[in-house]
Amino acid sequence: MDRAYEGNETRQLALDLGFIPVVPPKQTPMTPWEYDRAMYKRHNEIERLFRRLKGYRRIFSRFKKLDVMFIGFISFALIADGLRLC
Protein backbone atom coordinates (compact mmCIF):
# COMPACT_ATOMS: atom_id res chain seq x y z
CA MET A 1 0.00 0.00 0.00
CA ASP A 2 1.01 3.57 -0.48
CA ARG A 3 -0.24 6.81 1.01
CA ALA A 4 -2.75 7.20 -1.80
CA TYR A 5 -4.55 4.09 -0.46
CA GLU A 6 -4.41 4.91 3.23
CA GLY A 7 -8.15 5.28 3.77
CA ASN A 8 -9.85 3.44 6.61
CA GLU A 9 -11.83 1.23 4.21
CA THR A 10 -8.68 0.06 2.42
CA ARG A 11 -6.83 -0.53 5.67
CA GLN A 12 -9.75 -2.54 7.05
CA LEU A 13 -9.95 -4.63 3.88
CA ALA A 14 -6.23 -5.41 4.13
CA LEU A 15 -6.66 -6.41 7.78
CA ASP A 16 -9.68 -8.58 6.92
CA LEU A 17 -7.63 -10.38 4.28
CA GLY A 18 -4.87 -11.07 6.80
CA PHE A 19 -2.37 -8.47 5.61
CA ILE A 20 -0.61 -5.99 7.86
CA PRO A 21 -0.84 -2.59 6.18
CA VAL A 22 2.40 -0.67 6.44
CA VAL A 23 1.41 2.76 5.25
CA PRO A 24 1.89 6.03 7.08
CA PRO A 25 -1.07 8.32 7.66
CA LYS A 26 -1.35 11.52 5.69
CA GLN A 27 -0.10 14.69 7.30
CA THR A 28 -3.53 15.72 8.63
CA PRO A 29 -5.29 12.57 9.88
CA MET A 30 -7.86 12.79 12.62
CA THR A 31 -6.50 9.73 14.43
CA PRO A 32 -2.97 8.77 13.34
CA TRP A 33 -1.95 5.12 13.65
CA GLU A 34 1.30 3.30 14.27
CA TYR A 35 3.14 1.65 11.39
CA ASP A 36 6.47 -0.06 10.81
CA ARG A 37 8.65 2.76 9.49
CA ALA A 38 11.55 0.49 8.49
CA MET A 39 9.32 -1.77 6.43
CA TYR A 40 7.64 1.18 4.74
CA LYS A 41 11.03 2.54 3.66
CA ARG A 42 11.73 -0.79 1.91
CA HIS A 43 8.61 -0.61 -0.31
CA ASN A 44 10.62 1.36 -2.86
CA GLU A 45 12.88 -1.67 -3.39
CA ILE A 46 9.87 -3.74 -4.42
CA GLU A 47 8.64 -1.04 -6.78
CA ARG A 48 12.07 -0.87 -8.43
CA LEU A 49 12.12 -4.68 -8.80
CA PHE A 50 8.79 -4.59 -10.66
CA ARG A 51 10.11 -1.81 -12.89
CA ARG A 52 13.13 -3.94 -13.79
CA LEU A 53 10.91 -6.98 -14.43
CA LYS A 54 8.84 -4.93 -16.87
CA GLY A 55 11.99 -4.62 -18.97
CA TYR A 56 11.53 -8.28 -19.87
CA ARG A 57 8.71 -7.83 -22.37
CA ARG A 58 7.78 -11.50 -22.41
CA ILE A 59 6.99 -11.38 -18.69
CA PHE A 60 5.27 -8.04 -18.79
CA SER A 61 2.88 -8.95 -21.60
CA ARG A 62 2.73 -12.65 -20.63
CA PHE A 63 2.87 -14.22 -24.05
CA LYS A 64 3.07 -17.69 -22.57
CA LYS A 65 -0.28 -18.73 -21.14
CA LEU A 66 0.87 -21.74 -19.13
CA ASP A 67 1.50 -21.00 -15.46
CA VAL A 68 4.64 -23.12 -15.39
CA MET A 69 6.11 -21.14 -18.30
CA PHE A 70 5.20 -17.84 -16.66
CA ILE A 71 6.88 -18.89 -13.39
CA GLY A 72 9.89 -20.04 -15.41
CA PHE A 73 10.21 -16.63 -17.06
CA ILE A 74 9.84 -14.86 -13.72
CA SER A 75 12.56 -17.09 -12.25
CA PHE A 76 14.84 -16.42 -15.21
CA ALA A 77 14.32 -12.66 -14.94
CA LEU A 78 15.00 -12.67 -11.19
CA ILE A 79 18.20 -14.69 -11.67
CA ALA A 80 19.35 -12.40 -14.49
CA ASP A 81 18.55 -9.35 -12.39
CA GLY A 82 20.41 -10.78 -9.40
CA LEU A 83 23.47 -11.51 -11.53
CA ARG A 84 23.36 -8.03 -13.03
CA LEU A 85 23.39 -6.46 -9.56
CA CYS A 86 26.48 -8.44 -8.46
Q: Where are the domains of the chain?
A: 3-41, 43-85
44 pLDDT higher than 70: yes
Write out pLDDT tens, residues 66-85: 778 778 888 888 898 888 87
pLDDT at 17: 92
pLDDT at 61: 67
65 pLDDT higher than 80: no
Read off the pLDDT band of 11 (50, 70, 90).
confident
CA dist 69 to 50, 59, 77, Å?
18, 10, 12
Separation of alpha carbons 74 and 86, rounded Å: 19
Residues 6+ apart with CB under 8 A from 70: 59, 62, 64
* DSSP-assigned letter for residue 5: G
pLDDT at 16: 92
78-81: which pairs have CB atoms within 8 A and are 24 or more residues apart? 78/53, 80/56, 81/49, 81/52, 81/53
Separation of alpha carbons 25 and 35, rounded Å: 9
